[in-house]
Structure formats: structure tokens, C-alpha cells
Amino acid sequence: KEEVERMQQGAEMHAAEDAKRREEIETRNMADTLAYTAEKTLREQKDKIPSDLNQEVESKIQAVRSALQGIDIDSIRQATQELNDAMQKIGTAIYQQQQPPPPGGEAPGEEPPPGKEGGEEGTVEGEFREV
């Protein structure tokens, strides 16, 4: 019985250390996964990504990889966030190339022209796309 109590006390004493270590491992895994995903996206979508954005993402990938070599978790988080932001820019660029604005339609974020606010009463407007 004393052995069990001693083991419980030891586990409680090390709980904070274990939680910190788990967070570090999860942060490293997320950073590594994001870097891999970014590299894969650059390879697969090479022709759809502007060259300046491609270079930006490549430098952010290198920053994540070099941060992973160190022990500073905050620098890993920072590099991961910067890479994530750059990847969002790529997603936007690819989406804009795939979805050209319809002729005579409004650009995203524009207000609809006056008189075209709701269409006919009882009609619900929606968009769809065939996959």
C-alpha cells in the first residue's frame, strides 16, 4: 500500500513536467506535419502558385525545419504560425485561379447592385458547383 501511495505522489509531482513535455511533442509534430504538407502542396500545385509566393513558403519551410533542430518551443510555434499564414495565401491564390468571377457578376466582397437584393419574394438564391 505504501508503494502505491509513493507512486501516486511521484506521478502527481511529475504531472506538470509530463504536460509540458507532451505540449512540446505536439508542437513539434504539428510543425513537422505542416512543413511536409507545405512541401507537398508546392510540388503538386507548382503551376498555380506565383513564384514570389512559392519562394516565401519555401523560406518559411526552412525556418520551421531549422527551428525544429533547436529546443526553443516558442521559436517553433512562431515559425509554424508564419508558415501557416503563408499557406493560407497559397490557398487564396489557388482558389482565385479556379474561381474566376462570372461575367457581369459581382466580385467577392462587393455590394450587390441596387434592385437585386432579394429577388422575388419566397425565392432563395444559392450557388452550387458540379464536382
Amino acid at 66: S
CA distance 34 to 83: 8
> Could you give the domains of the chain?
2-98 (1.20.1270.10)
45-70 mean pLDDT? 91
| pTM beyond 0.75, yes or no | no
User: Helices 2-13 & 15-44, crossing angle to 10 degrees?
Assistant: 50
For the chain, state the CA radius of gyration: 24
For the stretch 23-39, pLDDT in tens is 999 999 999 999 999 99
For the stretch 61-90, pLDDT in tens is 999 999 999 989 999 999 999 999 999 998
The candidate with the shortest Cα–Cα distance to 108, out of 123, 124, 127, is: 127
CA distance 54 to 118: 41
